[in-house]
Amino acid sequence: MKSKRLIGAFALIVAGIVFGALLVSGFGLVRPGVADIRLGSSTPPVSLDADATSFSKAFIEVAQKVTPEIVRIDVVSETKENPHQNFFFFFKDFPQSPQEEQGSGSGIIISPDGYIVTNNHVVDNATKVTVTLNDKRTFDAKVIGTDPLTDLAVIKINANNLPAAYLGDSDALKVGQWVMAIGNPLALTSTVTAGIVSAKGRGQLGLIHNRYGVEDYIQTDAAINPGNSGGALVDLSGAVIGVNSAIATGGTGTYIGYGFAIPINLVKSVVKDLIAHGKVTRGYIGIEISNVNDALAKSLGMDKPEGVMVQKLVDGGSAASAGIKEGDVILKVDGHEVNQPNELQSYIAGKTAGTKVDLTIFRNGNIIDKTVTLKAREEGTTTQPVSLKDNSNNNNNNAETSASFDTIGLSVRNLTSSEKSSYNVDNGVMITDVKPFSAAADQLLAKGMVIVDANRKKVDDVKDMQKAIKEKEGSAVLLKVQDSQGNTRFVGLEIPKNK
């Protein structure tokens, strides 16, 4: 009997131990108190050094200081079609009538008394503009002036003691430099994103549909979305170095990798004119220009591709008056090198009519200097080819004569009298075929174009063309071509050596 009691007592002790273990181990039967809960590791995996902490702090301080300088802009505008489709920035609210649309963008406070810079496409055709500050105060705004050629605008609100942004120096910006984009994307107030400067001087994006439009953008991979239009691109000192204007979307309408901002140095010159005059009294050189590629440089006798080529002159324009000629290559303006058309455009866009600029030019193997006094552009002025005549009575007895240049993929024939009249030329040969992937195709030559000059000499017929090509074997030939609309341009074609 006594042994049974001992066994029973032992069994109770074991059961108690097991039950206690169950309570301690959990199994969800007993919940621990909040004070007893310990989550995660007790130390971070990496201890930030002073440099890393300082780097992070720079972003934090810029966001805190600059965000109050950025405003939200709500607009009601009249439109027949979407005027902002090329910029992918205007955030639309639905529903809307066919006569009006409502949207929002961003702006940067540039003076304590209420001047704000934004994009032209944000306030274009606006019937009502409302500005909301970072502190949630709302004001009606007046459009002071717009400049469609740079996609900039200035608006004004009746307010004082506003936090004005510091406008930096975009010329000092370096590719690879950290930047932050601050604005109101997708109707979300005060959004900050970060990235680097991916490239400078981006042009020929087709965002501004005007031959005088200035496209000289800062490219960044800081996330920019619809509604960021007119917001700030800033460096880590908090200086505004660009006004966000456009994004590459791949058809999605939202950010997929990089966006574009207008350099602040261009913004400053445009904004001053808009505030003072309500419009930009911009000066113009009066030329159409293009890149100088390797083949064109060789055809001109240049050591390397540099500068921009004068393709056409405005009749009576500043350049023509100063003795600039078609085929000249502009190497510098006021001592600044220019190697892309938009670099020259952007520089001149910051100058007013009456300003003098000094051009360094390559012409026929020589370096010459020309001083050009910028003129205001007269509406309706167009560039014109030089020395075009109508010789419709000049018969060509060898109209069927033709030639093919297989090494460059080009075929030509003599012009007929009627074609000379139609193209308004007194000489030239007609391009009849361009082989795909050939040297001629690479230079965008096409069937139906007329070659009027070769190596700065008139081409009267196929024989002249054959002679010009033969003279440049192993080098490059300079051609002046014209399309059926009267547009002319210079083209360089490398001619392989005949084996």
Q: The domain that contains 421 carries what CATH number? A: 2.30.42.10
Q: Tell me, what CATH number does 175's domain have?
A: 2.40.10.120
- Read off the pLDDT of residues 286-339 as tens digits, 9 standing for 90 and up: 898 888 999 999 999 999 999 999 998 888 889 999 999 999 999 999 999 999
Same domain for 326 and 428, yes or no, is: no
**Would you say residue 487 lies in a domain?**
yes
| Residue 390 annotated as catalytic | no
Lowest model confidence (mean pLDDT) among 80-84, 147-151, 412-416, 481-485: 80-84
pLDDT of residue 302: 92
- Read off the pLDDT of residues 361-391 as tens digits, 9 standing for 90 and up: 999 999 999 999 998 876 544 444 433 333 3
Question: How far, in Å, are 155, 307, 315, 376, 452 from residue 312 at the CA level?
Answer: 37, 15, 9, 18, 14
80 — pLDDT class (breaks 50, 70, 90): low
| Residue 433 annotated as catalytic | no
Lowest model confidence (mean pLDDT) among 6-15, 166-175, 338-347, 436-445: 6-15
Q: For the whole model, what pTM was predicted?
A: 0.73
Same domain for 211 and 266, yes or no, is: yes
Write down which residue in 339, 355, 384 finishes a domain: 384
In the predicted model, what is the mean pLDDT of the chain?
Answer: 82
b/e code 426-445 from CB counts within 10 Å (16+ = b)? bbbbbbeebeeebbbebbeb
Q: Of 217, 361, 220, which Cα lies nearest the Cα of 287? A: 361
Same domain for 70 and 89, yes or no, is: yes
pLDDT cut 90: percent of the chain above it: 39
pLDDT of residue 335: 92
Same domain for 166 and 242, yes or no, is: yes
**Would you say residue 262 lies in a domain?**
yes
Q: Is the pLDDT of residue 439 over 80?
A: yes
CB contact at 8 A, 307 and 327 = no
Show the DSSP H helices in 374-461 as ranges: 417-423, 439-442
Q: Is the pLDDT of residue 3 over 90?
A: no
What is the C-alpha separation between 441 and 434, in angstroms, rounded?
Answer: 6
Same domain for 186 and 316, yes or no, is: no
> In this structure, what token pair is assigned to residue 453?
């000059």
Same domain for 327 and 434, yes or no, is: no
What is the C-alpha separation between 435 and 442, in angstroms, rounded?
Answer: 10
**Would you say residue 45 lies in a domain?**
no
What is the C-alpha separation between 360 and 62, in angstroms, rounded?
Answer: 41
**Would you say residue 58 lies in a domain?**
no
The single residue of 121, 124, 453, 461 carrying the catalytic annotation is 121
Which residue, chain included where needed, has tokens 């005949």?
Answer: 498
Q: Is the pLDDT of residue 358 over 50?
A: yes
**Would you say residue 42 lies in a domain?**
no
Same domain for 82 and 202, yes or no, is: yes
- What pairs with residue 458 in β-bridges? 453
What is the C-alpha separation between 372 and 351, in angstroms, rounded?
Answer: 12
Same domain for 377 and 408, yes or no, is: no
The single residue of 74, 124, 151, 273 carrying the catalytic annotation is 151
Same domain for 288 and 247, yes or no, is: no
Q: Of 134, 246, 135, which Cα lies nearest the Cα of 190? A: 134
Same domain for 314 and 442, yes or no, is: no
Number of domains the chain is built from: 3
Q: Of 357, 165, 156, which Cα lies nearest the Cα of 274? A: 156
Write the burial class of residue 58 (CB in 10 Å: 0-12 exposed, 13-18 middle, 19+ buried).
middle
Write down which residue in 328, 349, 384 finishes a domain: 384
**Would you say residue 395 lies in a domain?**
no
| Residue 121 annotated as catalytic | yes
Write down which residue in 277, 301, 317 finishes a domain: 277
**Would you say residue 102 lies in a domain?**
yes
What is the C-alpha separation between 257 and 252, in angstroms, rounded?
Answer: 12
The single residue of 229, 245, 411, 438 carrying the catalytic annotation is 229
400 — pLDDT class (breaks 50, 70, 90): very low
Q: Is the pLDDT of residue 268 over 80?
A: yes
Q: Is the pLDDT of residue 156 over 50?
A: yes
**Would you say residue 13 lies in a domain?**
no
Range of the structural domain that residue 341 is part of = 283-384
pLDDT of residue 360: 94
Helix (H, G, I), strand (E, B) or coil at 107: strand
Same domain for 198 and 321, yes or no, is: no
What is the C-alpha separation between 200 and 181, in angstroms, rounded?
Answer: 16
258 — pLDDT class (breaks 50, 70, 90): confident
- Read off the pLDDT of residues 414-431 as tens digits, 9 standing for 90 and up: 988 888 888 999 999 999
What is the C-alpha separation between 190 and 156, in angstroms, rounded?
Answer: 20
Same domain for 192 and 312, yes or no, is: no
- Read off the pLDDT of residues 166-221 as tens digits, 9 standing for 90 and up: 999 999 999 999 999 998 877 677 789 899 999 888 776 656 656 666 788 899 88
CB contact at 8 A, 273 and 283 = no
Cβ-Cβ contacts under 8 Å for 214 (sequence gap 6 or more): 149, 150, 208, 266, 342, 345, 346, 349
pLDDT of residue 334: 93
